[in-house]
Structure 1
Amino acid sequence: MDFSLPRARKASEPALPMINVVFLLLIFFLMSAQIAAPPPFDVTPPEASSDGAAEGERVLYIARDGQLALAQARDEAVWDTLGGPGAGEGGLTLAVDGGLPAATLARVLARLGALGYDDLHLVTRAE
């Protein structure tokens, strides 16, 4: 019979502190990341020399061919969304393609004015 003492096992390092660090990093990166939906179509804004940033909660996209997009609404559904409850309240940001004819933009602005929107911001790119 063997009456010798069993060999002591080497203590393993606890994994809990490492798991805590990984979850803290995950939460940090999720909270600091900006998650935004991509624009519905490519828009090349016109050039401007101002440095001011546009403000507004909603962005109305206008493509070169006159297509409209606001959140999930497209074309004529945009006007239903803009004319709904609270029409004209708050700012509206316009992301307009630089190749859009001025006459088309004038018609859109007139229709927005008729709905009560008077706080409009035009997105431009620096020269």
Structure 2
Amino acid sequence: MIGQRRHFQVAHRPRNDDESILPLINIVFLLLIFFMVAGQLSAVDPFEVEPVESAVDGQPGPDEFMVIVGTEGRLAVNQDETDLEGMARLVAEHLQRHGDAARVRVKADGRAEAVEVVGILERLREAGVERIDLLTVPET
């Protein structure tokens, strides 16, 4: 037994073409799932807004308090359309939760009337907001 060669026969199955494509199908499905999940990460504004251009670049965080000012007096707070009274109520709640660290970001449409935007900024100041960021788009 020692030193003797043994010959084992290995049973070979006929090669199936479907087996070679299974890893490719798995990868395609994983990529599909990845892009479906990644596509849900960015929030969409409730109406079209074209921000003002700026030379400074800054990105808002996902949990920031955001006021969106559109054309024709449209207003939204944190992706929900509202009016000035609703904005004042939500800002007051935000100030109670965050106190002195409260920060409000304003994203105004570049086509909106400057008087409207300034009026909303003044309402935010009157409500007690000390830190207001006006979001813009970097110049190209």
SS at match of 1:86: helix
Structure 2 length normalisation: TM-score? 0.62
8 Å CA contact 2:46–2:81 kept in 1: the answer is no
Identity over the aligned pairs, expressed in percent?
A: 31
Structure 1, unmatched stretches of 5+, are 1-7
Q: 1 CA distance for matches of 2:31 and 2:127?
A: 47
Structure 2, unmatched stretches of 5+, are 1-11
Moved more, 102-111 or 61-70: 102-111
Count of aligned residue pairs for this structure pair = 119
Could you say if the C-alpha distance between residues 82 and 19 of structure 1 is closer, same or farther in structure 2, counting changes exceeding 3 Å?
A: same
Superposed, which structure 2 residues align to 1:1-127 within 5 Å? 10-12=14-16, 14=19, 17-33=23-39, 35-48=41-54, 50-56=55-61, 57-70=64-77, 71-75=79-83, 76-84=85-93, 85-86=96-97, 89-125=101-137, 126=139
Could you say if the C-alpha distance between residues 115 and 17 of structure 1 is closer, same or farther in structure 2, counting changes exceeding 3 Å?
A: same
Could you say if the C-alpha distance between residues 21 and 54 of structure 1 is closer, same or farther in structure 2, counting changes exceeding 3 Å?
A: closer
Q: In proportion to residue count, which structure has more helix? A: 2
Could you say if the C-alpha distance between residues 46 and 20 of structure 1 is closer, same or farther in structure 2, counting changes exceeding 3 Å?
A: closer
